[in-house]
Chains A and B, each alone.
Chain A
Amino acid sequence: MQLAVNITVLAAIYALIACGYVLVYRVSRVLNLAHGELMMLGAYLLLMTATQFSSHWLAALTAAVLLSLSTGVLVYVFLMRKMTGEMVLAAVLTTVALGILLRGAMVLIWSAQQFYPAQPLQIANVAIALPGGARISLCAALLVLTTALVYGALLTFLRFGRWGVRMRAAGQNPLLAAQRGINLHAIYALAWGLSTLTGALAGMLIALDAGLNQTMAIIGLKAFPAALVGGLDSLAGALAGALIVAAAEILLINYVDPLLSEVVPFLVLIAMLIVRPWGLFGTREELDRV
């Protein structure tokens, strides 16, 4: 049972991070390689609001979530918008530069220390007993719940929401969407905002569970194979990819060698690229276009 819980938690972490990659890619075909850093920034924003709001954890979380959403929108408005009409590669390289800039800025502002945002918020990360003798920490349980809610909300929004339908249209054919009166810049800004928000949520919950330091950005990169395995333009694919990568990782840790956990996501990714390069749920024509 503990094995199943461990797989679920890791899959939830990867899925919550991976959906950020998918949202931006699906709409603008840009691979956001600064997603890990934006996720870490979200965690640091929570640290900042936690200090400001101390014991009011809901206020601190709400403020951090709003700040993260705004950050994503601002990244698009002030940086990625300038890349409109340029080669996709240029936009991708811009995100690499953004990641380096953010990493440096975060060290300057918050130093390299280990922080625990749960402390100022007075959140006790207690263990919850589950059937079968398994246990899960409160923050890990919240992470699983949040992932489920985020995916449910995003899938509903994209399927039925007016702006969700516009996002899908912009992703499928931006020229036609623009001719139909859809404001592409607003759609892209929304995608960047939502992407940063979901990544930041993952960062915040990981930080509440296990603390926060400069290594968090690399965790963001570890979730990247999950998005690719599932198909970069599919939210459901990101969920499936996360589950596959997490299951492979945990089972190998448990039954073969813990060291393999570092390479497993990328082994799964290579295997998928050989068999089905566009991912489990990805669209073949989209990949051909890349």
Chain B
Amino acid sequence: MFRKLAAAAVAAAIAGPALAQDAYVVGLTGALTGPPASTYAPAVEALRIYIDRVNAAGGINGKTVNLILQDDSAEPGKAAANAKKLIAQDNVMLMLNASLSSTYAPMVAEAKRAGVPVLFASSVCPKDVYPPADPLLFCTTAFAANHDSRAVLSFVKETAKEPVKLGLAAMAIPISRGEIDFAEGLSKTMGMTPVSKEIIPPPTPDYTPFATKIKDAGANWAYSWAPWVTQVRTLEALRRLGWQGDYVAWAHIEAEGELARLKDGQFYVVGATALFQDALPIHAEIAQAVQKANVQYPPQQMAEGWIAGMVVEAALKATSWPPTPEKLAAAMSNLNVDTRGLRGGPIAWTKDNHFRTRQYYRVYRWDPAKASIVRVKDWTAFDVQ
């Protein structure tokens, strides 16, 4: 897979300027390697497969899409260098980010100087895409600070049969800590009692010390909004300590495979993307494309990147030839993309809202009786204001 990504990157780098006149040129900087790559690389791979399909089917408005991939290893310095290269050398009209939030500032600064729109695809949505949105920043990623914790804590409140003593776990990165701080405050207003908040450094060889504190604090529910590794290892450490409470976490792209691995009936994942368990026609389409492309990642991890591909296709389609970053940004500010069930509703952007006007959440868990993943709660909509 990475050989293909590398080959695509090299080919695009050589052919980029030449193709720029005949193609829509889109650049991406992402964590294709490095510690957090497991969250981002599958999404980038899915996007690449999607764009390859679009090109194979004749392109968009009769033109091909030249997707240039750059690895930033989740390092801000590399992301800045990538952004400079994509803008100055490749003349991209759209930049995508699939990396840690620490890469945003340098990349966005470069993009704004050049007036190039930025799409956050699989990386967490920054607040600048919420109303009133920055004119150049857009986001398709499922997870979103503040909104997610509202949905999760609403679910906990509905589900809990006794007063909730909440244990919280975050990774020691700004976005995760901020969200867990927000959840701590919100939980109090919802009548819950936060009893423990663990900020866990990445990487940690043993999660047991943190889990011990959550258990000893008397938590009967635990909530983690962090990269998958922190979420799931905290849960596993809690279970090994004999903790029998309910655990709720964000449904990252790894969730479906991990629910089946853990087989824990009290482990809930809340997400904004339909799991393959729902067996939608588009799931079959993705699975077929992934199989054909012969990549290392399972189809279950591809939906996030696929949605980004759908949105890029729709945005480029709405941009008349010859395209410019200004035309594209204008088209993106009035976009409505049907995700064919992958999300609870469309990705709808307006002039003031570059996140989505309504965010939908579903809850899943493993059902030991049925020996399969089951939907605990169907799409619940939250207005984004």
Contact = CB atoms under 8 A, between A and B. Distances in A.
Interface in B1-44: 1-3, 32-35, 37-38, 41-42
B261 A116 contact: yes
A140 B209 contact: no
B254 A114 contact: yes
B174 interface: no
Contacts of B254: 114
A259 B202 contact: no
Interface residues of A, number: 44
Interface stretch (B119-127, B134-142, B157-165, B233-241): B233-241
B60 interface: no
Interface string B199-231: 111111111111011001000000000001100
Nearest to B241: A135
Interface residues of B, number: 40
B2 A215 contact: no
Contacts of A253: 209-210, 213
B297 interface: yes
Nearest to B35: A215
Contacts of B2: 107-108, 111
A133 to B, nearest CB: 9
B261 A119 contact: yes
Contacts of A215: 35, 202-203, 229
B172 interface: yes
Contacts, number: 111
B242 interface: yes
Contacts of A258: 198-201, 209-210, 213
Interface string B297-312: 1000000000000000
Contact of B41 (A104, A111, A136, A216): A111
B290 to A, nearest CB: 13
Interface string A225-269: 000000000000000000000000110011001110110000000
Contacts of B202: 215, 218
Interface string A108-130: 10011110100100000101000
B296 A6 contact: no
B38 A250 contact: no
A51 interface: no
Contact of B3 (A108, A206, A250): A108
Interface of A: prevailing SS: helix
B206 A222 contact: no
B226 to A, nearest CB: 13
Interface in B80-111: none
A16 to B, nearest CB: 10
Nearest to A138: B240
Contacts of B35: 213-215, 218
A140 B210 CA distance: 16
Contacts of B241: 2, 127, 135
Given A6-B212, A213-B38, A254-B212, A13 B206 contact: yes
A211 interface: yes
A135 B172 contact: no
B240 to A, nearest CB: 4
A108 B6 CA distance: 10
Contacts of B172: 259, 262
Contact of B242 (A135, A210, A262): A135
Contacts of B199: 257-259
14 contacts: A6-B208, A6-B212, A9-B208, A10-B205, A13-B206, A113-B296, A206-B205, A210-B205, A211-B229, A214-B38, A215-B229, A222-B205, A253-B213, A262-B172
Please provide the 7 A-B residue pairs with the shortest distance between their CB atoms, ordered closest to farther: A112-B37, A215-B203, A262-B201, A111-B296, A127-B240, A215-B35, A112-B38
Given A113-B38, A135-B240, A259-B199, 10 more contacts: A2-B212, A3-B212, A111-B1, A113-B42, A113-B297, A210-B205, A214-B34, A249-B209, A258-B210, A262-B201
Interface of A: 2-3, 5-6, 9-10, 13-14, 103-104, 107-108, 111-114, 116, 119, 125, 127, 135-137, 140, 206, 209-211, 213-216, 218-219, 222, 249-250, 253-254, 257-259, 261-262
